[in-house]
Amino acid sequence: MRSFSYSSLIILWVLTGGFVHAQQIALLKYKGGGDWYVNPTSLPNLIRYCNENIHTKLETKPATVEPSSLDIFQYPFVHMTGHGNVFFSDEDVENLRNYLMSGGFLHIDDNYGMDQYIRKEIKKLFPDQELTELPASHPVFHQTFDFPNGIPKIHEHDGKRPQAFGIFIKSRLVLLYTYEVDLGDGWEDPEINNDPQEVRLKALKMGANLVQFVFEN
Give the CATH number for residue 92.
3.40.50.12140
Range of the domain at 210: 6-169+178-216
Looking at the predicted structure, is the pLDDT value of residue 172 above 60?
Answer: yes
Collapsed DSSP state (helix, strand, coil) of residue 6: helix
d(CA 155, CA 145): 20
Amino acid at 11: I
Residue 125 lies in a domain: yes
Question: pTM of the predicted model, to two decimals?
Answer: 0.90
Looking at the predicted structure, is the pLDDT value of residue 115 above 90?
Answer: yes
Residue 13 lies in a domain: yes
Chain segment 62-99, per-residue pLDDT in tens: 999 999 999 999 999 999 999 999 999 999 999 999 99
Domains in the chain, number: 1
Residue 134 lies in a domain: yes
Chain segment 11-53, per-residue pLDDT in tens: 443 444 434 444 899 999 999 988 999 999 999 999 999 999 9
pLDDT of residue 2: 52
Query: How does DSSP assign 150-197, residue by residue?
Result: SSPP---TTSPPPEEEEEEETTEEEEEEEES--HHHHHS-HHHH---H
Residue 148 lies in a domain: yes
d(CA 194, CA 190): 5
d(CA 27, CA 36): 8
Residue 1 lies in a domain: no
Long-range pairs for 13-18: beta carbons < 8 A, 24 or more residues apart: 15/70, 16/74
